[in-house]
Structure 1
Amino acid sequence: MTASRKQAALDYHALPRPGKLGISITKPVSGPADLSLAYTPGVAEPVLEIQADPEAAYRYTAKSNLVAVISNGTAVLGLGNCGALASKPVMEGKAVLFKKFADIDVFDIEIDAAEPQAFIDTVARIAPTFGGINLEDIAAPACFEIEEALIERCDIPVFHDDQHGTAIVMAAALLNALDLQGKRIEDARIVCCGAGAAGIASMRLAIELGARRENLWLVDRKGVIHTGRDDYATLNKEKREFATPPTERRTLAGALAGADVFIGVSGPGLMKPEWLMLMNERPIVFALSNPVPEILPEEAWAVRKDLIMATGRSDYPNQVNNVLCFPFLFRGALDVRARRITREMKIAAVRALAALAREPVPKEMLEAYGQKSLSFGPEYIIPKPLDPRLRECVASAVARAAVLSGAAKQPYPPHYPSQGDIR
């Protein structure tokens, strides 16, 4: 980042008031009568109602529209283990996106606990405050243990966005790219470079959508993960889940021979342009490392004219951006008071995003992005973050899936689009 851009970013966060968030009062507090209702003695009435029925907290407090964005700062963006306090600007930023795109209130919480059990215990104890929990920037493999434990201990949705948000948006883009390339996910050979939170979740979701396990190749820093590796016994269980049988193809280049899809969630420059020639006809390349992808689009296009390309950046077509998912997934989950985020809710979000990219693009979105036209095709396989239809489209699909999968405590909201006979 240039010196001027660095200063602009610092000024944005510091001026005229530090931080990106504030607290607003939602009820009148203009005189003695209001004060007596807001606090003592009037506040005793909802206290007694909630004591008698904990579900009443959704009626009388902010719980129904409040999400905790929680991190321990062990994997902050691409910056690594920065610590809990240094993660706060990112968590505040996440809160801004929740509010901007889905009108969800957020408390950002930074927990100084690198050890998983201490983190789990802390979050579980504060969970009653919230309607949902968004875990963020927690290093693998601890993130898997943390999320699994909190899902079991909490009666509200717990969602690690670095895993599932990335996977959901990537999967929606992948389904559309495969269709455009005349391929099926059931037949596609998929190579994923990066075996952390996003990589593992993406491979798991690909299987849920029909990919065959024998067609998946997972690559970490030491190469292809296979059962014959010298360090196989020491790998975490998430990596072993995707280990192939012993193979002579032990490098990323070896795995790419005959592949249809490359998914990069690893680091800059790890895909060499010449390796693209090893892939099948009409390949799909998702280089999602940010800010520098595994391969730059111009380098890829110079080698393969028949590919479809996506990155995590906004200055290239087909940005795979988690903001397409998490605000709207939580919106749908909160609106039906879901107990958890189910497999069906994730798949519903995938299919809603994929379907929206095929719809005619509204004029207001074209104006927002300064484009004259935009339609489904190789350079538009996923909606853009400022698409005004995202909230209704994704949230309603998630809410419907929550109801049908039995995760919802409330019926499908009447203000949502009609989705047939939902009970």
Structure 2
Amino acid sequence: MAEMVRTPQVVIDDEEIFAAHEGGKLSVELKAPLDTQRALSIAYTPGVAQVSRAIANDPALAAKYTWANRLVAVVSDGSAVLGLGDIGAAASLPVMEGKSALFKTFGGLDSIPIVLDTKDPDEIVETLVRLRPTFGAVNLEDISAPRCFEIERRVIEALDCPVMHDDQHGTAIVVLAALMGATKVLDRDMAALRVVISGAGAAGVACANILLAAGIPDVTVLDSKGIVHSGREDLNSFKAELAERTNPAGRTGGVAEALDGADMFLGLSAGVVPEEAVATMAPGGIVFALSNPDPEIHPDAARKYAAVVATGRSDFPNQINNVLAFPGVFRGALDAGARRITERMKVAAAEAIFSVVGDDLAVDHIVPSALDPRVAPAVAAAVAAASES
């Protein structure tokens, strides 16, 4: 029997899914037809030689006369793909093609998926440095932690164009936007929240950073072995540094100890959170259970104890989806000619996402729909403005 995939409106069998992916999801289209000898002579030889000579004499002209300045490279090594884990470069390509389709649909940006058959940070950085004339921005995707932190840092340092690891910062931007919505609808002070984050990987670290930067002082992070605290001797350098900036009360133990009395739970792991642990949270709490396809706690169970519940799935209210962020972030950065995607730009993106909700704000509508056509233009304008301030 064919496997079924459920969405809010329809049930899709695997035959339809595979048919839609056959031959890939992308193609290259021309901006003007090559249907005459004159058109061919302009687009290719001999006309193209004049453009190439001009760029050779003035490399800055490449921004005007090629697509590179508006082209996003979607780059992965296939080491941390969705909920599938380390599936390798070839198996990750359908996901990167999908990412490119989202860039075009929501941000109006051309992009090209590049999957690298290496997990060596040196080789990944060197490859992107050598490919730099081909693209205008880099979206790093599905690269496992802690390597992703080093790779992103080094690529940002090496290239003179916008670079962002979406698993980190796209997630963090939309989480912050959703939290703005949740605290607004509940009339809560964000800075007074005690937040627990389950997951100390790429998304968990980035979310901890953006929430701390947003003024939330009490953030506790959990990994697979429990609360990340400075007394643990099994922490890598990234977690050890995180331990110095989080868990101000010095809590130890696991999820039960962390959630007792907490105001917010943010799930960014493949783990399961017992319902009885969520029941110990403070009244009127917030639960963002974002693991896909199976949330850390089922939304129906979470709603027994929390006032606002969100997931990463499209078949429940309050979907926290990175597509709300990354198309507009890159569009805004490229529109502004920015060389970096800064923290100010990320916060501006979150504020823009939240602003789109407007008067429709409700406990089951704290962020816009992933299909809302207003989001990407709002985010792009906010990011571009933030880059210039």
- The equivalent residue for 1:58 is 63
- The equivalent residue for 1:291 is 293
- The equivalent residue for 2:356 is 356
- The equivalent residue for 1:130 is 135
d(CA) in 2 for partners of 1:62 and 1:233? Answer: 41
1:402 is the counterpart of 2:387? yes
- In the TM superposition, 1:13-412 aligns within 5 A as 13-14=21-22, 18-212=23-217, 215-232=218-235, 236-237=239-240, 239-242=242-245, 244=247, 247=250, 249-268=252-271, 270-301=272-303, 303-304=304-305, 306-359=306-359, 375-404=360-389
1:326 Cα shift? 0.7
d(CA) in 2 for partners of 1:107 and 1:267? Answer: 29
Retained in 1: the 8 A contact 2:251–2:258?
A: no
d(CA) in 1 for partners of 2:367 and 2:336? Answer: 26
Secondary structure of the residue that 1:316 maps to in structure 2? coil
1:279 Cα shift? 1.1
Instruction: Give per-residue Cα distances to partners, 1:246-289, cap 9 Å, x unaligned.
Output: 94531111011121110000015x21111122211210000000
Retained in 2: the 8 A contact 1:68–1:109?
A: yes
d(CA) in 2 for partners of 1:125 and 1:217? Answer: 40
1:182 Cα shift? 2.6
1:223 Cα shift? 0.1
Evaluate the alpha carbon distance shift between residue 397 and residue 70 of structure 1 in structure 2; reply closer, same or farther with a 3 A threshold.
Answer: same
Which letter does structure 2 place at the counterpart of 1:165? G
- Structure ranking higher on relative contact order (CA contacts 8 Å, 6+ apart): 2
Count of paired positions: 381
d(CA) in 2 for partners of 1:247 and 1:230? Answer: 15
1:236 Cα shift? 4.7
1:25 Cα shift? 1.4
Secondary structure of the residue that 2:47 maps to in structure 1? coil
Of 98-107 and 281-290, more deviation after overlay is shown by: 98-107
1:47 Cα shift? 1.6
Instruction: Give per-residue Cα distances to partners, 1:186-233, cap 9 Å, x unaligned.
Output: 111110000000000001111121111xx1100000000111113246
Evaluate the alpha carbon distance shift between residue 330 and residue 174 of structure 1 in structure 2; reply closer, same or farther with a 3 A threshold.
Answer: same
Evaluate the alpha carbon distance shift between residue 341 and residue 223 of structure 1 in structure 2; reply closer, same or farther with a 3 A threshold.
Answer: same
d(CA) in 2 for partners of 1:56 and 1:253? Answer: 59
Retained in 2: the 8 A contact 1:225–1:242?
A: no
Instruction: Give per-residue Cα distances to partners, 1:328-348, cap 9 Å, x unaligned.
Output: 111111112211111111010
Of 182-191 and 108-117, more deviation after overlay is shown by: 182-191
CA RMSD of aligned residues (A): 1.8
Evaluate the alpha carbon distance shift between residue 233 and residue 30 of structure 1 in structure 2; reply closer, same or farther with a 3 A threshold.
Answer: closer
Which letter does structure 1 place at the counterpart of 2:280? L
Retained in 1: the 8 A contact 2:167–2:202?
A: yes
Retained in 2: the 8 A contact 1:226–1:246?
A: no
d(CA) in 1 for partners of 2:47 and 2:380? Answer: 35
1:63 Cα shift? 1.5
Retained in 1: the 8 A contact 2:146–2:238?
A: no
d(CA) in 2 for partners of 1:299 and 1:229? Answer: 32
TM-score, with length taken from structure 1:
0.86
- The equivalent residue for 1:12 is 20
Retained in 2: the 8 A contact 1:227–1:245?
A: no
Retained in 2: the 8 A contact 1:76–1:87?
A: yes
TM-score, with length taken from structure 2:
0.93
d(CA) in 1 for partners of 2:43 and 2:185? Answer: 57
Which letter does structure 2 place at the counterpart of 1:390? V
Of 174-183 and 55-64, more deviation after overlay is shown by: 174-183
Which letter does structure 1 place at the counterpart of 2:158? R
Evaluate the alpha carbon distance shift between residue 237 and residue 25 of structure 1 in structure 2; reply closer, same or farther with a 3 A threshold.
Answer: farther
Retained in 1: the 8 A contact 2:230–2:240?
A: no
Gaps of 5+ in 2: 5-12
d(CA) in 2 for partners of 1:241 and 1:147? Answer: 22
d(CA) in 2 for partners of 1:153 and 1:2? Answer: 47
Evaluate the alpha carbon distance shift between residue 2 and residue 165 of structure 1 in structure 2; reply closer, same or farther with a 3 A threshold.
Answer: farther
Of 138-147 and 222-231, more deviation after overlay is shown by: 222-231
d(CA) in 2 for partners of 1:244 and 1:317? Answer: 30
Evaluate the alpha carbon distance shift between residue 200 and residue 46 of structure 1 in structure 2; reply closer, same or farther with a 3 A threshold.
Answer: same
Retained in 2: the 8 A contact 1:227–1:246?
A: no
Secondary structure of the residue that 1:348 maps to in structure 2? helix
Secondary structure of the residue that 2:270 maps to in structure 1? coil
d(CA) in 2 for partners of 1:289 and 1:205? Answer: 19
d(CA) in 2 for partners of 1:106 and 1:313? Answer: 25
- The equivalent residue for 2:9 is none
Instruction: Give per-residue Cα distances to partners, 1:94-134, cap 9 Å, x unaligned.
Output: 01111111211111111111111111111121122111111
- The equivalent residue for 1:419 is none
